[in-house]
Every structure is written in C-alpha cells, then in structure tokens.
Amino acid sequence: MTLTDRPAAAVSNPLEPDRLVARLRATFDSGATRPLAWRRQQLEAMQRLLVERESELLDALHQDLGKPAIEGWMTELRHVANEISDMLRHLEGWVKPERVGVRTVLRPARATVVSEPVGVVLVIAPWNYPVHLLLLPMAYALAAGNAVVGKPSEMSSATSAALARWVAAYLDRDAVCIVEGDAPVVTALLAQRWDYIFYTGNGRVGRIVMKAAAEHLTPVTLELGGKSPVIVANGANLDVAAKRIAWGKFVNAGQTCVAPDYVLVDRQVESRFVDALVRAVRHFYGSDPQSSPDYARVINERHWDRLHGLLADASPSQVVLGGQGDRASRYLAPTILRDATWDDPVMSEEIFGPILPVLAVDGVGAAIATINAHDKPLALYVFAEDQAVIDRVVAETSSGGVGANVTLLQLAVADLPFGGVGESGMGAYHGKFGFDTFSHRKAVLQRTTRMDPSVTYPPYTNLKQRLLRKVF
C-alpha cells in the first residue's frame, strides 16, 4: 500500500495524502498548469508514454486480465491516444472565451464565458480497463489545466504498478501523480478537499464517494454501470446482430460497463437468433475458448466465484452454450442462457462477466416496458432494420446512451458524451464534454464607462419608468 509519485520513490507516509494534495495545490496555485503550452506538453507526453511503453502496458494488462494484445491495444492504449489527438486538435478553440449576446438595455457591453480549470482533481479508476479508464479522464483534466491525482485499482496490480512508474517518468511530477493502494488509501484520499472527483466503478462505492465529496461540497462525476439491455426486433439482421452482440458481450470476458447484459428478443425470431449467437461465439473463439488467444480472463478468484455462483443457479436446460470454467486460471467460458427470468439470480444484478441471458418478449413494446420497469441503464442497444423501431426505442426509454445496430462503439465517437443517468451515474465526458467536466465556465460581463445612461439609476421618475418598461 503505497502512495507513488516517482519511480521507486513513495510519499513519506501512505496515510498522509494531505502532503501530496498540498504539493499539487501549490503547483496549481502557482499558475504552472494554466498555460496552453503546458497542457499540450502533458498530453503529448501521455501519448508518448502509450507508444513507447506499449509492450510493458500490454504485458501488464495480460497479467491482470489475460487481455489479448490486440484487444488491449485497441480498447485501451489506442483509444486513449486517439482521444488525446482529438484534444490536441481542438484545445486552442476550447480554451478561447465564448462570446454570448447582450440585451439592448445592457449595451454597450461584452459578455463571455471563460473556461478556467477547477483546481486539483482526483480520478479513481476501476480494474476492468485500467489504462483507458484512468488515463483518459486524467488527460481531460490536464487539457483543462488542472493538477491531477490518479488512483488505479489495486485489483489490476500489474497495470497499476506500470502506470505509477511511467506516469511519473513522463509527466510533470509536480502536478500529476499516481497513487497506489487499497481501500484505506482511497478512504484517506477521499477525506481530502478536492476541487473535483471523477469516479468510475460500481454504485455502492459511488455512494461512498459522493458522501465524502459532500463534506467539502466537491462536485463529482460518477461513471457507474448497471444492466445494459439489448433489444432484437423482428426483422433485424439476425446474423449481424448476433456477431455484434457476441463481440460486445465477450470482449474482455464480459467485464465492460457498457457490455450487453441481457437480450430481449422478439419471440418470433428467438430460436433463429440464439442459433446465430452460438455460431458467432464459436466462430470467434472456436470449440475450446480456453485455448483461444483472443479470449480474456476474469480478474480474480472472488469475481470468478461470484460468476460461477450465478451459473450454478441456472438449470442445465437454460445453458445453450458454455458454462465451463477453471478457477485456477480464472477462465469462464462464453456462456449463453436461454429462458432466463427476472426471478433468476443472473437477472438480479449487473453480470459483469461472460454470461449472456436471452429473454423472449412479445415485441418491441414489451421490451420497452421491461426496460422502463428497471433502473436506467448506462447503455441500451437496439437491433432493427426499421428506422421507426429505432426511433421509438430512443424516444420511449431513458439511458446513458443508445447504440442502434452496434454495441460498445458509441464510446469511440469522441464528440458523443459518455455518462449515465439515475443509477447508472451522473455527469459525462469525452470530447468537449470531457474538457467542460474539468472546467468552471465563468461568466464575465464588461461594460464601457464612456457611456453611463442615468435611466437605470434612482430617482425613478415617471419618464424613467416608462422608458425602463420599454427596454427591459
């Protein structure tokens, strides 16, 4: 349990993060993080880190999650690098004051919105995408001109150690720090006064984060999760739907916050869809997914036990594909369940693993009603060839985001906000939304002193009152 901000060097006491925060706040207060040149330097340095330390980071991801190298590169390293490129292209425009209109009665005047950094930011990341979900929020915080502390998950320990080492080597150590450690370290960090807290994880810890933030009236973004549903309509392209759903579900062994959690398929096409889903999984990973170089592993034994317990409660007749596992290697086969019900344990919580229940419903209306009867999801997916069906799902449901005939890829569009609603979170980032998340949008009004009409000042004569009623 260490607070690491330099290679092979720790803060003097892991339970005294106040010294660390004070050091970063001194850097921020000095103005060092505000210049555009500094922000660019940090973003470019992070890009170099991702390129030059690619092999070390991919090895760490494989140690922690069994991630195939190309999967880790696409979903973690390259994704972050691409968004940083987008930040660098737009940063100068983002930091410029925005002119807004001024009513006639206030003229001559100039009104602008100035984006200023909020200060010292804490980013708490999860274990499932430990590079992506730590460095990307940190990059947006730096783009906005803040000092930032990143807390990776101790569960992805190899990646955490690699990030602690290389972030300190590449970025400004007076303004950027990685803190390693487990629950007591997080608790100690949350006791500090931050200017913003960005948390990605589950709702239980999200409530703890929000409660701690409330002590200092610190604003938060909570990127949570939940059971993200998929609707497969009658008339959908079942083969394409099956491939895209299987890929979105089983990448990273299902440990993705926006992975399809369950499928609501029109009863008339259920059998054909399930058959197509089985074919897709076998095509991706072969008859023995355990030997596939393209299939990841569950993060640890505790999560493996939880997932295996969900399968133990399913009847053999429900298991269409998979169900096998090996605790020692943290392998759990891509598993498809049929005829699941809301009384089954697998439907009582976010699965966050390679188990996909399929539920038959009587059409799109029934699917919408089912979704609306539960917590608002982080992502919602619909597969349909009829645009009217897609429009209806978008209009009649609430979710953090919608993917129509896609899964996961909404995250790859930098200009789309990514965030939850209700139980799935609050706040959003990516693109300009990420920059704005870590900025305070300050209102500024300037008026000239060359003109100073007396009509707005007392005494309010009848004439002044008549004029004011006309111009206000």
Please state the domain extents for the chain. Answer: 4-224+423-444, 229-416
How far, in Å, CA of 110 to CA of 269, rounded? Answer: 61
Q: Is residue 428 within 8 Å of 436, Cβ to Cβ?
A: no
pLDDT confidence of residue 108: 87
DSSP state of 318: G
Q: Which H or E element spans position 197?
A: strand 196-200
- Model confidence at 56, pLDDT cuts 50, 70, 90, reads very high
DSSP string, 234-291: TTS-HHHHHHHHHHHHHGGGG--TTS--EEEEEGGGHHHHHHHHHHHHHHHH-S-GGG
The answer for residues whose C-beta is within 8 angstroms of residue 468's C-beta and 6 or more apart is: 455, 456, 460
pLDDT confidence of residue 222: 97
How far, in Å, CA of 353 to CA of 351, rounded? Answer: 5
Residue 367 identity (one-letter amino acid): A
Peptide linkage before 108 cis (omega within 30 of 0):
yes
CA distances from 71 to 96, 293, 353 (A): 37, 10, 16
Q: Is residue 210 within 8 Å of 232, Cβ to Cβ?
A: no
Mean pLDDT of 296-324: 94
Average pLDDT, the chain: 94
The answer for residues whose C-beta is within 8 angstroms of residue 74's C-beta and 6 or more apart is: none
First vs last C-alpha separation in the chain: 62
CA distances from 114 to 43, 63, 73, 183 (A): 21, 44, 36, 37
pLDDT confidence of residue 13: 42
Q: Is 223 a catalytic residue?
A: yes
- Model confidence at 301, pLDDT cuts 50, 70, 90, reads very high
The H-assigned helical ranges of 313-450 are 364-372, 387-396, 431-437
Q: What is the pLDDT of residues 194-230, one digit of tens each?
A: 999 999 999 999 999 999 999 999 999 999 999 999 9
Candidate list 257, 270, 350, 423, residue with the active-site label: 257
Could you tell me which of 258, 173, 177 has the C-alpha nearest to residue 223? 258
b/e sequence 119-157, b meaning 16+ C-beta within 10 Å: bbbbbbbbbbbbbbbbbbbbbbbbbbbbbbbbbbbbbbb
Question: Considering the chain, what percentage of its residues have pLDDT values greater than 90?
Answer: 90
pLDDT confidence of residue 152: 97
The answer for residues whose C-beta is within 8 angstroms of residue 96's C-beta and 6 or more apart is: none
Q: Is 257 a catalytic residue?
A: yes
Q: Is residue 431 within 8 Å of 91, Cβ to Cβ?
A: no
Candidate list 223, 270, 350, 423, residue with the active-site label: 223
DSSP string, 90-101: HHHHHHSPEEE-
Q: Is residue 135 within 8 Å of 465, Cβ to Cβ?
A: no
Residue whose pair of structure tokens reads 């539920």 in the numeric block:
359
Mean pLDDT of 272-298: 98
The CATH label, of 3.40.50.2020, 3.40.140.10, 3.90.700.10, 3.40.605.10, for the domain at 4-224+423-444 is 3.40.605.10
- For the cut 90, the answer to whether the pLDDT of residue 15 exceeds it is no
Residue whose pair of structure tokens reads 């002119």 in the numeric block:
99
Q: Which H or E element spans position 186?
A: helix 183-190
Q: What is the pLDDT of residues 369-408, one digit of tens each?
A: 999 999 999 999 999 999 999 999 999 999 999 999 999 9
pLDDT confidence of residue 286: 97
Q: Is residue 407 within 8 Å of 382, Cβ to Cβ?
A: no
How far, in Å, CA of 398 to CA of 402, rounded? Answer: 9
List, in sequence order, every beta strand (DSSP E) within 295-350: 319-321, 325-326, 331-332, 335-338
Mean pLDDT of 27-43: 98
* SS3 of 456-468: HCCCCCHHHHHHH
pTM (two decimals): 0.94
pLDDT confidence of residue 452: 87
Q: Which H or E element spans position 138?
A: helix 132-143
CATH number 3.40.309.10 given to 229-416: yes
Residue 366 identity (one-letter amino acid): A
How far, in Å, CA of 285 to CA of 334, rounded? Answer: 9
Q: Is residue 440 within 8 Å of 115, Cβ to Cβ?
A: yes
Q: What is the pLDDT of residues 131-190, one digit of tens each?
A: 999 999 999 999 999 999 999 999 999 999 999 999 999 999 999 999 999 999 999 999
Q: What is the pLDDT of residues 99-133, one digit of tens each?
A: 999 987 788 899 999 999 999 999 999 999 999 99
- Model confidence at 8, pLDDT cuts 50, 70, 90, reads very low
